[in-house]
Amino acid sequence: MPWKQWAYLEKVSSADFQSYLQNQTVPTFTSVAQRDSVYTPAPPATGALCITIDTFTVWVWRGSAWSRLSPGLMAEYVLTVQQTGISQAVVDITNLAVTWTPLTGRLYRVTISGGQAYNNNAATGSGSIYITDSANNIIATQSFNSAAGVVSNWPINVRTPKLTLPAGTPVTYKGRASMTVGTDLRIIANATTPWVITAEDVGAQ
């Protein structure tokens, strides 16, 4: 029952409490795992909603399974530690990676945003920022010019296309970098100017 007009001082039965209150609130859970532990073995009423706050995702129970009601953040890492010594060989940007488990029928996008790098070399060159999978296959890239000895304040915003990924198996995507000259491109990352990598659910396939 979706709604009831209550009388003044009317006694609330346990059945009415379950139907009109408990089944129609929108509970929040820390994760999908916590949600599933609460609703096992007794599932909620069909149409029930909940929110998992690790990804700020809204879910609806369709009678046999949960479905994501809206796109949401799947994983994020905020880098606040500077990295030095990036050369012409492509290397990982240390710790700038995200891992999550894709769901059936969903599309995903990975983004790296940042903006400050320093060319600690004697010559001007181009730096490149890559998004790769765990096997180092390049999925997206952005390049920028970096004058010698100058902080480059380029608005880095590397984005993958929409990704169709195998469901149920954790995947990792990460940031990597290289420089066309020299041996010391520096990623400037701190609490004021962090570099951020995110994985987002961007809708149904």
pTM: 0.70
Residues whose CB falls within 8 Å of the CB of residue 119, separated by 6 or more in sequence, listed in order = 125, 127, 146, 147, 148, 149, 150, 152, 179, 182, 184, 185, 186
What are the residues facing 173 on neighbouring strands? 98, 133
Would you list the domain boundaries of the chain? 14-68, 73-204
* Dihedral of alpha carbons 184, 115, 126, 111, sign: positive
Residues 143-190 have pLDDT tens digits of 988 788 777 777 889 999 999 999 989 999 999 999 988 888 889 999
Q: Give rounded-to-5 percent helix, strand, coil for the chain.
A: 10, 45, 45
Give the CB-side neighbour count of residue 80, counting CA atoms within 13 A: 4
* pLDDT, one tens digit for every residue, the chain (205 residues): 567 888 888 898 998 888 878 778 899 999 889 999 999 988 988 888 999 988 778 888 888 888 777 667 888 999 999 999 999 999 999 999 999 989 888 899 999 998 788 888 878 888 899 999 999 999 999 998 878 877 777 788 999 999 999 998 999 999 999 998 888 888 999 988 899 999 999 888 8
Q: Which residue has the tokens 């570099």?
A: 195
Q: Please tell me the distance from the alpha carbon of residue 159 to that of residue 113, in angstroms, as a whole number.
A: 9
Residue 49 burial by CB count (10 A; 0-12/13-18/19+): exposed, middle or buried? Answer: middle
Of the CATH numbers 2.60.120.760, 2.40.30.40, 3.50.50.60, 1.20.1050.10, which one belongs to the domain with range 73-204? 2.60.120.760
Terminus-to-terminus CA distance in the chain, angstroms?
A: 34
74 alpha-carbon distance from chain centroid: 4
Instruction: Give SS3 for 14.
Output: helix
